[in-house]
Amino acid sequence: MTMASAPAVRDGFDVIPPSGTARLLAADGPSHVAHLAGFGPMPSGRGVDAVIAELDMAGIAGRGGAAFPTWRKVAAAAQSGRGGVVIGNGSEGEPLSAKDATLLHTAPHLVLDGLLLVAAALGADEIDLVTTSAQLAPVRRAIDERRDAGRIRVRETQDRFVAGEASAVVNAIERARPIPRDHAVRLTVSGVRSRPTLVLNVETLAHIALVLRFGAEWFRSLGTPDDPGTRLFTVARPDGRLVVEAAGGTPLSTVLRAGGVDPATVRAVLVGGYHGTWITADALDTPLSPGGLAAFGASPGAGILMVLPRGECGLARTAQITGYLAEQSAGQCGPCANGLPAIAEAMGRVGRRDRDTSLPRRIRELTTLVSGRGACHHPDGTARMVLSALETFEHDLRAHAVGLCQETAR
Amino acid sequence: MNAPTRAVSVLHVDWTRCDARGSCTELLPELLRTDPWGYPLAAGGGSDVGVPAHLEAAARDAVGLCPVLALRLITPAD
Amino acid sequence: MNEALWALGRGTGVVALALLTVTVVLGILTRSGRPAFGLPRFAVTLVHRNSALIGTAFVLIHIVSLLFDPYAQLNVVDFILPFLGSYHPFWLGLGTVGVDLLIAIVVTSLLRRWIGQRTFRVVHWATYALWPIALLHSFGTGTDAGSGLFILFAAVCTLAVVGSVIWRASTGFLLRGRTEPDRRVDPSQIAADPTLKELR
């Protein structure tokens, strides 16, 4: 899938943009020197309209899970005028996800470039990079290697599931408690200390850094029209994780293989992380683009692909995940704080092969009760994943109801 | 989540503040029931409820009488 | 005329204390999230607010009538700065403190939407100081303090408030809401459940 691209001339340097699917991970190392050698110098600042236009043409969408068109977020922030806040979100609340951490360890300068370019275009007067304890050192090291990144304030946040949500990141900065806010007022209107705030995932920022160097056309030279460019995926196997960069529209099986998984050993994959959708072994050639996954009611999300091996029970695993998600609720919102533990309890009984046949119905009722009734999408995402499990593992449900498990053959 | 048209006002529930006090469900029984844990439940679920014109006064009462300021009425003029 | 003002001062003082008692009890009921006395919850809140405002009106008449009563020997400064009065300065001073607190509480309540819930709540806690201050003031300065009827009245008010506060501090006070750990399942138990791990 390699495609040659024309060299781009930037400020007197001949820089060949990355060809092949290694883009974010193309440099030889995390140092500033390796970054410059691999990607060339940071492009000179452009006005916000030019930046928005380039991002729109590139068709890049957020890589933090919500997949909102990036140009639209930047445009919304621009509408609030200059003097706002730009935040790079490297909190990566999902425990299975490793792409943001990997990016900050292996290509921090792309993230810093992206932050500085967006902040300059918007005239922001505060730049924050929020991440968890393990990533603080490489980020600070990268900042110290340059002269232009002194303004970036590195902030630590907790390693909790909802801490990665955009308004939770704002709260982590403003109140030291990474819990979500009510979404009635958009962050791009009022965020950190009531100032317009733009929160972008660190992978999105890295892509922005490359788009503004090599152009929208280069970005689109890989991937599909509806999923241009490349994405980072975390392949989560039972024995370890691997981060893979793949072009948009790559089939699930291809990414799994690149992540060290033999598709023949797979029972199902949870695509999109703990708020994602289960896809069974017979559908492993599905392209991992928003369009390809929509047929299953799924989306790439933040790129987590959790493998459920053959011989392991999907319902038991779902129950375990649901217990975790319930425990990770911020506890602010009644429907979530009450509903998720109730779902987890019912799901736990399903997983343990409780013969109560009313459990699936009860779970479905609870998912309807919690969806959309919270400050963030934690309850909705949990509901979606659980419903997907009930649908995908329907045969197992019937077996469990009589005390058997087909998958574990007991 | 409901997505009412702009011709109608929208009652927004701030779940981070809502503490299941129950005043709103008494003042707007046509729009809000009570879920098993005491929280206001709109017919279509979600955090935003369309408020028809004849219930707007009652909705304003609900907003003003919520002990924890968890409600906000967004009118088409906004 | 002076007799009338004095009577007005005492009368409105007693009524104000009664209304303040009602307000405190209804405030605690509002917090519990329960309907009461045949009133739905929103009505409990409404009556609580109204009795507070009416009570405040009575306090205003109380202090204005006493300002014009020469027997009370009050100056305008006594309504703002406590303990400077000539007649029973300490007990009068408590009244002044009470009025100051009342103003703060009422103003923050009326402007709740604009100053925010947190500030409103913090100031509102002062009502637990306001009520005993009002009661002590009425005993200290009130010329009816010795009367059996007043003692009975004060006892009833005290019983109502103390009873409500004890109820307020008890478990099970809240009908619903965030702080009900016993109603909830412990989800971390489910996550850690060994039978839910690899069932092979």
Q: What is the pLDDT of residues A224-249, one digit of tens each?
A: 999 999 999 999 999 899 999 999 99
> Has residue A406 been placed in a domain?
no
pLDDT value at residue C182: 46
Determine the Cα–Cα distance for residues A1 and C168; give it in Å rounded to an integer: 69
Sign of torsion, CA A70 A75 A80 A84? positive
Q: What is the CATH number of the domain that holds B23?
A: 3.30.70.20
CB atoms B18 and A338 under 8 Å: no
> Has residue A334 been placed in a domain?
yes
Taking a C-beta distance cutoff of 8 angstroms, is the pair A100, A111 a contact?
Answer: no
Question: How many domains are contained in chain A?
Answer: 3
Q: Is the pLDDT of residue B6 over 60?
A: no
Question: How many domains are contained in chain B?
Answer: 1
Angle between helices A394-401 and A314-327 (to 10 degrees): 90
* Mean pLDDT of the A134-156 span: 96
**Is A191 in the B-facing interface, judged by CB distances under 8 Å?**
no
> Has residue B23 been placed in a domain?
yes
A200 with A240, same domain? no
> Has residue B1 been placed in a domain?
no
A316 CB neighbours in chain C (<8 A) are 195-199
Domain of residue B63, residue span: 9-74
> Has residue B57 been placed in a domain?
yes
CA A347 vs CA A363, A364, A373, C196: distances in Å: 7, 11, 20, 10
A305 with A318, same domain? no
CB atoms C177 and B20 under 8 Å: yes
Q: Is the pLDDT of residue A1 over 60?
A: no
Taking a C-beta distance cutoff of 8 angstroms, is the pair A233, A251 a contact?
Answer: no
pLDDT value at residue C186: 67
> Has residue B46 been placed in a domain?
yes
List, for residues B23-50, the tens digit of each pLDDT value.
Answer: 999 999 999 999 999 999 998 889 999 9
pLDDT value at residue A166: 96
> Has residue A195 been placed in a domain?
yes
**Is A334 in the B-facing interface, judged by CB distances under 8 Å?**
yes
Q: Which residue of C lies nearest to B18 if distances are taken between CA atoms?
A: C177
Q: Is the pLDDT of residue C198 over 60?
A: no
CA C23 vs CA A335, B27, C20, C106, C183: distances in Å: 32, 22, 5, 12, 31
Taking a C-beta distance cutoff of 8 angstroms, is the pair A293, A384 a contact?
Answer: no
In this structure, how many other beta carbons lie within 10 angstroms of the beta carbon of residue A225? 11
Find the CB nearest C177 among B19, B24, B65: B19
What pLDDT band is residue C189 in, cutting at 50, 70 and 90?
A: low
Taking a C-beta distance cutoff of 8 angstroms, is the pair A373, A335 a contact?
Answer: yes
Q: How far is CA A23 from the centre of its chain?
A: 17
> Has residue A408 been placed in a domain?
no
Domain of residue A384, residue span: 314-401
Structure ipTM over 0.95, yes or no: no
> Has residue A410 been placed in a domain?
no
- Give percent above pLDDT 70 in chain A: 96
A20 with A105, same domain? yes
A269 with A384, same domain? no
List, for residues C79-127, the tens digit of each pLDDT value.
Answer: 778 777 777 788 888 999 999 999 999 999 999 999 999 999 999 999 9
Question: How many domains are contained in chain C?
Answer: 1
Find the CB nearest B69 among C31, C42, C112: C112
**Is B14 in the A-facing interface, judged by CB distances under 8 Å?**
yes
A203 with A335, same domain? no
A197 with A339, same domain? no
Sign of torsion, CA A105 A107 A112 A118? negative
pTM of structure: 0.90
Determine the Cα–Cα distance for residues A360 and A389; give it in Å rounded to an integer: 11
Taking a C-beta distance cutoff of 8 angstroms, is the pair B57, B66 a contact?
Answer: no
Q: What is the CATH number of the domain that holds A274?
A: 3.10.20.600
pLDDT value at residue A207: 97
Domain of residue C118, residue span: 2-196
List, for residues C63-76, the tens digit of each pLDDT value.
Answer: 999 888 877 777 77
- What average pLDDT is seen over chain A? 92
pLDDT value at residue C67: 85
Domain end position, chosen among A257, A285, A309: A309
pLDDT value at residue B14: 97
Contacts of A185 (CB under 8 A, 6+ apart): none
B21 CB neighbours in chain C (<8 A) are 30, 33, 41, 176-177
A17 with A102, same domain? yes
The more confident residue out of B6 and A128 is: A128
Per-residue tokens: B32? 């809000």
pLDDT value at residue C89: 80
Strand, helix or coil for residue C142: coil
Q: What is the CATH number of the domain that holds A120?
A: 3.40.50.11540
